[in-house]
C-alpha cells in the first residue's frame, strides 16, 4: 500500500489487540498480543465488484468517487465508517471493534444498492499480513474446513473468515491479482498476501446484504482457528452486545463529569476510553500513542511506556475514579525499575527496555511523585507496603544524583528528549519525587528517611531559586546545556560562561552555562510539582513569559519553547492545557477557560486529541491520539470543575 500516513483517524482495541484505521475505514495497523508490539498488517482492505457493470473492483479506500463519513457509536469504541460511491450508487457501511477478552477483530459490512437497477455484487477482502513486522517467512493458506485464510509465521497465526461461506480464495500474490474481481484458487504460498471473495447475489434497488469478517489471532494455527470458530459461533450481534456492555460498564464506573457543555463532557468520556485502549490488559503499562512511524523517519517512535507521560496519565486515571488501573500501572513500574533505583527512558509493555537515547532523570522523579499522588487519592496503605522498596531505592538514587556544584540533578536529557543538561523542569520533577517519597516514608513511620529526602528536596528548591533570570523575567530553562564544539567556541567569543567535561576515554563534552530559552515546561515549578507556590511572583512572571513568547502561532495555542524545530514548531495540546492548569490554580478562571476551550476546539472529528496542532491551519499535525494530551484534558477539566468554573445546573450536580 506504499507509505502509511503518519496521522490516523480512528482506533479500536481491547487491551491486548489494538487497531488503527483511516477515515476511509482502511485498516492500517494491528498489534497483538500486546498493544505495542508486534504489529502485523502491511495492508488490509475491502472492495466491491459489480460483474458486468464495473471492469475493476471498487476498493472502498480508493478513488475520488467514494465519499466517506466516520463516527464512533456514541461513547463506545465501536467504529462506524460509511462510504457512498457516486458512480454506482453503492452504499457500504462497516462497523469495527475488538471483542473484550478475546483475540478477535470484528468487521461488519452492510452493502446497499442505492441505484435504480438490479446489480450482482461480489465482495472482496485482501489481507497482506507481514507478521511480527517482517516481510520474511510468512505463509498464507486457505483452510477449507474453517472456510478461512490462515496467515502464520513462527508463533503467531491469524485466521480470517466470514459468517457466510466464501465463493473464492487466493493464497499468495493476491493484492494486484484481486483487482479484476477474480481469484485463482491457490491454496498455499510462502507469501504475506491472500484474498477472499463472497458473492452477495443480485441486489434489487434499495436492497442490502450483510457480511461479517472475523480476524482471529492465536499462538499457532490451532489457536487462531479455534478463536475464529468461537467468534463465528457467537455471531456478530452477540459479540457487539458483549463489547458494548463491557465499555458501558467501564464508563459507568468513572467519576461523572457534568460541565454544562456536552462537547466537553463527551470529550471527557472519550478520554477515559483512550486511557483504557492505551493500557496493557496483562500488566498495566500504558503507551504514549499507537505507533505510526516504525522506521523513525521523523521521530523516535511513540508506542512505548514513558514514566513521565504515564505519571500524568495515571494521575488523571486516578482522579477519574479508576484507582485499580493506576495501581496496576505502578505495580508494572516495580518490574522495570533498575537495580540502582532509577527508571530508564521508556519500555515495551512486557517490561523490556525500548530503543532509547539516554537517562531522563525527571522520569524517576515523576514515578515517585505519582506513587504518592495515588496514595493521596486512595489512602490505600497496602499500596505503600507494595511499593516501599522501590520508593526507597528510587529516592536514594535521586539524592545521589545531585550536582554538588549547582545543587541541581546532574546532566540528563530534558523532558522533550532533545538536549542534555541540568534542566529546571527535571529539577522540579525530582523535587516532587523526593517530597512524595518523604511523605510515603512519613506515612510508614520512617522519619529518618523522610527527613533526609525532604532535606534533599529543599536543597533543590534553593538551587532552582538561583536560576531566576531577571533579564527575561522567567526562570532559566537550565544550566550546563551540552552543545557542539562550534557553539561552545562561539559562546567563548561572546564572553559567556562555559564548562567542559572529559570522560575516562578522553572524549570531551562542551557545555554553555546558562540556557535562557522560554519553555512551557517551566510551569512545572508550580504545576504539578509545587516547587514554588502559585502566588510566587517569579512563577507568575514565568507564566506570563510562556504566554507572551510561546502563544504566537496564527492558529493559537502554546508551543513548547522558542524556535522549536520539531514538526514545524507547532502549538501542543499538553502545553496549552499546562498553562490553563496554572491559571486555574492562580484563580484566573476566564483566562484558563480560554486556553482550555482552544484545546477542546482542536480535537479531531472523532473526539481524539493530537499531540500538536498545525500552527497555520489549526488541523491536527502530529500523533493521534496522544494519551498525555487526553490526560492533561482530564486533569484540567477536573481542576476547573473543582474550582467552580463551569455553570452547572443543580440537577446535573446531583447526578
Asked whether 332 and 351 are in contact (CB, 8 A), the reply is: yes
Report CA dihedral (65, 71, 72, 73) to the nearest 10 degrees.
-100
Phi, psi values for residue 137, rounded to 5°: 65, 25
pLDDT less than 70: residues of the chain: 1-2, 53, 648-655
CA distances to 376, 467, 563, 624 from 612, in Å = 32, 29, 15, 9
DSSP for 534-579 reads TT-HHHHHHHHHHHHHH---TT-SEESBTT--GGGT-EEHHHHHHH
C-alpha to C-alpha distances, 514 to 16, 420, 481, nearest whole angstrom: 46, 13, 7
- 72 in Cβ contact with 80 (< 8 Å): yes
Q: What is the model's pLDDT at position 652?
A: 47
Q: How many CB atoms lie within 10 A of CB 333?
A: 25
| Architecture of the structural domain at 10-249 | Distorted Sandwich (2.70)
Helix (H) or strand (E) holding 381: helix 381-399
Question: What is the DSSP secondary structure assignment for residue 476, as one 8-state letter?
Answer: -
At 1 the pLDDT is 52
Closest to 645 measured CA to CA, from 267, 271, 260, 320: 260
Using CA atoms, how far apart are residues 230 and 196, in angstroms rounded to an integer?
20
Beta bridge partners of 69: 82
* 528 contacts 522 by C-beta, under 8 angstroms: no
**Which long-range contacts link 174-177 to residues 24+ away (Cβ below 8 Å)?**
174/126, 174/128, 175/43, 175/126, 175/128
Cα–Cα distance measured from residue 73 to residue 159, given in angstroms and rounded to the nearest whole number: 26
| Per-residue confidence (pLDDT) for residue 55, from 0 to 100 | 78
Q: Residue by residue, what is the 3-state secondary structure of 154-210?
A: CCEEEEEEECCCCCEEEECCCCCHHHHCCCCCCCEECCCEEEEEEEEEEECCCCEEE
Distance between CA atoms of residues 316 and 504, nearest Å = 44
Q: Are 279 and 325 in contact (CB under 8 A)?
A: yes
Please name the residue that has the C-alpha cell 452486545: 241
Amino acid at each position: 500500500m506504499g507509505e502509511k500516513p503518519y496521522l490516523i483517524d480512528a482506533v479500536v482495541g481491547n487491551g491486548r489487540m489494538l487497531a488503527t484505521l483511516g477515515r476511509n475505514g482502511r485498516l492500517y495497523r494491528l498489534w497483538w498480543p500486546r498493544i505495542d508490539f508486534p504489529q502485523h498488517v502491511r495492508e488490509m482492505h475491502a472492495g466491491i465488484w459489480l460483474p458486468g457493470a464495473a471492469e475493476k473492483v471498487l476498493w472502498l479506500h480508493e478513488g475520488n468517487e467514494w465519499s466517506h463519513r466516520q463516527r464512533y457509536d456514541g461513547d463506545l469504541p465501536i467504529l462506524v465508517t460509511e462510504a457512498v460511491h457516486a458512480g454506482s450508487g453503492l452504499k457500504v457501511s462497516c462497523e469495527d471493534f475488538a471483542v473484550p477478552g478475546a483475540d478477535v477483530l470484528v468487521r461488519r459490512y452492510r452493502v446497499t444498492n442505492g441505484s435504480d437497477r438490479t446489480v450482482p455484487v461480489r465482495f472482496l477482502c485482501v489481507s497482506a499480513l507481514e507478521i511480527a513486522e517482517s516481510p520474511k517467512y510468512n505463509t498464507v493458506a486457505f483452510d477449507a474446513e474453517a472456510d478461512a485464510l490462515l496467515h502464520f509465521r513462527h508463533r503467531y497465526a491469524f485466521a480470517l473468515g466470514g459468517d457466510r461461506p466464501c465463493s473464492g480464495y487466493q493464497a499468495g500474490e493476491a493484492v494486484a491479482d484481486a483487482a479484476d474481481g477474480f481469484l485463482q484458487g491457490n491454496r498455499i504460498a510462502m507469501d504475506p498476501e491472500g484474498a477472499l471473495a463472497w458473492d452477495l447475489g443480485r441486489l434489487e434497488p434499495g436492497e442490502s446484504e450483510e457480511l461479517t469478517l472475523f480476524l482471529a489471532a492465536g499462538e499457532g494455527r490451532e489457536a487462531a482457528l479455534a478463536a475464529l470458530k468461537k467468534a463465528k459461533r457467537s455471531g456478530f450481534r452477540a459479540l457487539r452486545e458483549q463489547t458494548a456492555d463491557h465499555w458501558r460498564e467501564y464508563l459507568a464506573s468513572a467519576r461523572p463529569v457534568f460541565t454544562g457543555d456536552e462537547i466537553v463532557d463527551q470529550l471527557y468520556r472519550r478520554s477515559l476510553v483512550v486511557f483504557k485502549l492505551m493500557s496493557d490488559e496483562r500488566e498495566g503499562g500504558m503507551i504514549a500513542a499507537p505507533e505510526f512511524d516504525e522506521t523513525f523517519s521523523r521521530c523516535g517512535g511513540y508506542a512505548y511506556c514513558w514514566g513521565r507521560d504515564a505519571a500524568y496519565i495515571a494521575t488523571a486515571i486516578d482522579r477519574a475514579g479508576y484507582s485499580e488501573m493506576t495501581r496496576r500501572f505502578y505495580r508494572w513500574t516495580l518490574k522495570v525499575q533498575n537495580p540502582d533505583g532509577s527508571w530508564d527512558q521508556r519500555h515495551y509493555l512486557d517490561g523490556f527496555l525500548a530503543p532509547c537515547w539516554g537517562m531522563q532523570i525527571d522520569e524517576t522523579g515523576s514515578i515517585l511523585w505519582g506513587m504518592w499522588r495515588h496514595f493521596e487519592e486512595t489512602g490505600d496503605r497496602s499500596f505503600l507496603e507494595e511499593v516501599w522498596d522501590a520508593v526507597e531505592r528510587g529516592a536514594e538514587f535521586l539524592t545521589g544524583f545531585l550536582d554538588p556544584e549547582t545543587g541541581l540533578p546532574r546532566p540528563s536529557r530534558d523532558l522533550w528528549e532533545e538536549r542534555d543538561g541540568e534542566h529546571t523542569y527535571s529539577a522540579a520533577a525530582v523535587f516532587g519525587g523526593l517530597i512524595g517519597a518523604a511523605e510515603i516514608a512519613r506515612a510508614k513511620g520512617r522519619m529518618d528517611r523522610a527527613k533526609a529526602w525532604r532535606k534533599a528536596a529543599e536543597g533543590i528548591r534553593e538551587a532552582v531559586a538561583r536560576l531566576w533570570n531577571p533579564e527575561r523575567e522567567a526562570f532559566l530553562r537550565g544550566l550546563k546545556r551540552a552543545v557542539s564544539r562550534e557553539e561552545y567556541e562561539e559562546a567563548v567569543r561572546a564572553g559567556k560562561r562555559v564548562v567542559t567535561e572529559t570522560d575516562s576515554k578522553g572524549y570531551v563534552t562542551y557545555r554553555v552555562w546558562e540556557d535562557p530559552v522560554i519553555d512551557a515546561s517551566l510551569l512545572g515549578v508550580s504545576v504539578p510539582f509545587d516547587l514554588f507556590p502559585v502566588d510566587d511572583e517569579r512563577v507568575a512572571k514565568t507564566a506570563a513569559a510562556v504566554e507572551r513568547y510561546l502563544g504566537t502561532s496564527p492558529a493559537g495555542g502554546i508551543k513548547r519553547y522558542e524556535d522549536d524545530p520539531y514538526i514545524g514548531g507547532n502549538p501542543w495540546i499538553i502545553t496549552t492545557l499546562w498553562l490553563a492548569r496554572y491559571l486555574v490554580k492562580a484563580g484566573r478562571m476566564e483566562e484558563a477557560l480560554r486556553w482550555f476551550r482552544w484545546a477542546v476546539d482542536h480535537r479531531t472529528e472523532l473526539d481524539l486529541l493530537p499531540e500538536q496542532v498545525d500552527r497555520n491551519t489549526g488541523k491536527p499535525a502530529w500523533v493521534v491520539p496522544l494519551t498525555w494530551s487526553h490526560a492533561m484534558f482530564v486533569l484540567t477539566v477536573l481542576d476547573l470543575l473543582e474550582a467552580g468554573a463551569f455553570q452547572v445546573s443543580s440537577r446535573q450536580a446531583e447526578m
